Amino acid sequence: MADNLMEELKMNWRRWVFILVMSISMGGLATGETAPQIPLRDFFRNPELSSLELSPDGKQVAFLAPVERRLNLFVQEVNGEKPRQVTDVRDRDIGGYFWKNANTLIYLKDDGGDENYHLYAVDIVSGQTRDLTPFPGIRAGIVDDLEDIEDEVLIDMNQRRLDVFDVYRLNVKTGEMTLVAENPGNYIGYLTDHAGKVRVALAKDAEQNRNILLYRDTEQQEFRPIITTGFKDQVSPYFFSADNRHLYATSNIGRDRKALVLIDPATGKEIQTMFAHPEVDVGGAGWSRLRKVLTSVGYTTDKSHRHFFDDKIRKIYATLEKQLPGYEVALTSIDKAEEQFVVRTYSDKSRGAYYLFNEKTGALKKWRDLSPWLNEQDMADMRPISFKSRDGLTIHGYLTLPKGKEARNLPVVVNPHGGPWVRDTWGFNSEVQLLANRGFAVLQMNYRGSTGYGRAFWEAGFKQWGRKMQDDITDGVEWLIKQGIADPKRVAIYGGSYGGYAVLAGLAFTPEVYACGIDYVGVSNIFTLMKTIPPYWKPLMAEFYEKVGHPEKDEELLRSVSPVFHADKIKAPLFIAQGARDPRVNKAESDQMVAALAARGVKVEYMVKDNEGHGFRNEENRFEFYEAMEKFLQGCLQ
């Protein structure tokens, strides 16, 4: 699967929280030295290590590293030389972790991709591991790691009812749990103050399709609504102000693009706009727990950028960018004293490396490269691009051309992102680099409905699955052909999840455009998708109906855009890959498509993995999938 840097950087499950227009013809780009063919498995091997985290006292680090192809936890002294393995999981990668105290790590792991994550504690001295949520069929997550409380964390869990998550205070030593917020049925998120008290809840009114922000002064009080909006108005609280009286949040109320604002929960009113960008949404605010100040907020145009509120963090980034030229840098972990920082570098041609930075001494120590076996000089440039849709919208995206080849009449793989309510970003992407290394140009685009470009652009995608959203993808292909870059007879489409749906829709609704397609855990039938999603998504269904369509009120629409009902129009070769335990896009989605084509005598290459869910995480399955994908593309594009 594509690398997702933002997911790795802080594994945000802890909080479950200048566009370059290519107006010149690409055909005239000079060619240089072509890259050697890199072994496929080098792109998809587990990294040397990932998720490096400092212990609270700054004396140790923990990280994930592969043991017999599964990511396990290791601990090492900051000034030591030899890491110690502290977990021994063999069935499934550890999904994320954090330090609870100097001797305890907490991690999450699911079973075969079912996304029913359990919470585990491991004693790094004895190696003893305990399942803290040993209840069948449940899913647990972290609300607050309670950094200042030695042995407690706040979790949410659907033990009482599978369709709702309550909040519990959990003692990681004894396993004792205390209910601190019972979900009445429509709460979808919670926020604590700086003392670790649950003071904010987010809810959905399914009947009216409204968002509700609720607040209470103490945990002994009932929540009361302070902001109620339609679902298109979005307020996302990040954290409280230092005095626990006000909320920092992003909001698009009264504006097209989300801004960072300060809200008074007593009135629900914005009292200050902290930062807004004229072109894109902002998000990802930073906070100093030691100094109790707002530090930064992020935004993404061509690349990720930051606006700083705090001189200390601004100076640290300036120092690091000067010492690590040519790379993007991000601070991903910090000790309690705010003296030592974990630094992650990356670029479009490198997964990057981890460094330890001592703010007090200014020392910068390289810890390790993530993928030292990949030479970034052999990788291809990912270039920001934009083009106009047929109805006049500006669609932004990225174009990666094979290194050293003239950008003319190239075979192309169009790669629409999943979601669909996310966006593609600039950075290292294993899939893209493999394809470029094999001589394919790769086009990624943020079609309408993608997030980050404001409310109007997001809303332009509502009820446009298979319609204008798909037109944006087709218009990207036409743009490449007009530029002279793409060979119109050698264009493939590949995507996962919603991107897999776009593959099926592309082959069914514009069969003349694509030579072949690869659908990876994609939707074929919107009706059955809605019936098989997890029970805890129920509060979100009214919003989903508004954005995609209602199975009864919009039956004709959904039938017209569900590829399974238009299988007779598919002529190009198709490869489908599916995880049998996928809780989001059920295996029946792929089964239906294969059966519909088989009924017409059309053979589909179909790969199913019984120990995978929504995408293949196990290394051996990734290898098999991408080897099959490479062979398939070579057969239809070369």
Q: Which residues are catalytic?
A: 497, 582, 614
Angstrom distance (rounded) from CA 638 to CA 626:
17
Closest Cα to residue 494, out of 554, 557, 423, 412?
Answer: 412
β pairing state of 486-496 and 516-520: parallel
The strand ranges marked E within 68-218 are 70-77, 84-85, 96-101, 104-109, 118-123, 129-131, 140-144, 152-157, 166-171, 177-181, 187-192, 198-205, 210-215
Q: Two tokens at 390?
A: 């047929």
Q: Two tokens at 162?
A: 């599978």
Q: Two tokens at 18?
A: 């200048």
DSSP secondary structure letter of residue 355: E
Q: Is 439 helix (H, G, I), strand (E, B) or coil?
A: coil
The strand ranges marked E within 218-308 are 224-230, 235-240, 247-251, 259-264, 269-275, 282-288, 293-300, 304-308
Query: Which residues neighbour 435 within 8 Å (Cβ) at sequence distance 6 or greater?
Result: 400, 413, 415, 442, 633
Closest Cα to residue 447, out of 427, 426, 418?
Answer: 418
Angstrom distance (rounded) from CA 577 to CA 566:
20
Identity of residue 261: V
Q: Two tokens at 321?
A: 């960018």
Of all helices (H) and strands (E), which one includes residue 619? helix 619-637
Q: Does residue 420 have a cis peptide bond before it, meaning omega lies within 30 degrees of 0? A: yes
Rg of the chain on CA atoms, in Å: 24
Q: Two tokens at 264?
A: 């008074």
Identity of residue 215: Y
Of all helices (H) and strands (E), which one includes residue 414? strand 410-414
Q: Two tokens at 147?
A: 């950094």
CA distances from 317 to 4, 330, 331, 447 (A): 22, 8, 8, 32
Query: Which residues neighbour 501 within 8 Å (Cβ) at sequence distance 6 or greater?
Result: 465, 466, 495, 519, 522, 523, 524, 563
Backbone angles phi, psi at 556, to 5 degrees: -65, -40
Buried-state track 440-462, b at ≥16 Cβ within 10 A, e below 16: bbbbbbbbbbbbbbbbebbebbb
